[in-house]
Amino acid sequence: MAAVLTVGVFGARQRAFRNVILGAIERGEARADADVDTCVSLLVGYWHGSYYHHFPEIPDENWAERAVDVLLCYLRATTASSPP
């Protein structure tokens, strides 16, 4: 059962997060040297932390927006004059 969840449900969510980040990189909206795997892990971990903190209720509707706001600070494409 754990393998089904890991590969199926969790894997699908991780692939979706990864594809969004990779798309942003391809469009120049995110830095090309971003650590995509770590970003995906951070998103998944933040969701799980929010879920267990508020259990039995699901995380509020704004959790994704807060997570993206934080990650965008790291993911935004940098210019030569700005620090990474």
Angstrom distance (rounded) from CA 82 to CA 76:
11
pLDDT at 4: 59
For residue 13, give the 3-state DSSP assignment: helix
Question: What are the pLDDT digits (tens) for 64-84?
Answer: 788 878 888 888 866 544 445
pLDDT at 77: 64
Count CA atoms within 13 Å of residue 25 on its CB side. Answer: 15
More confident: 9 or 82: 9
Question: What are the pLDDT digits (tens) for 12-48?
Answer: 888 888 998 899 899 988 899 999 999 999 888 887 7
Domain ranges of the chain: 2-75
Angstrom distance (rounded) from CA 84 to CA 78:
6
Compute the average pLDDT of residues 38-59. 81
pLDDT at 33: 92
Residue pair 21/34 in contact (Cβ under 8 Å)? The answer is yes
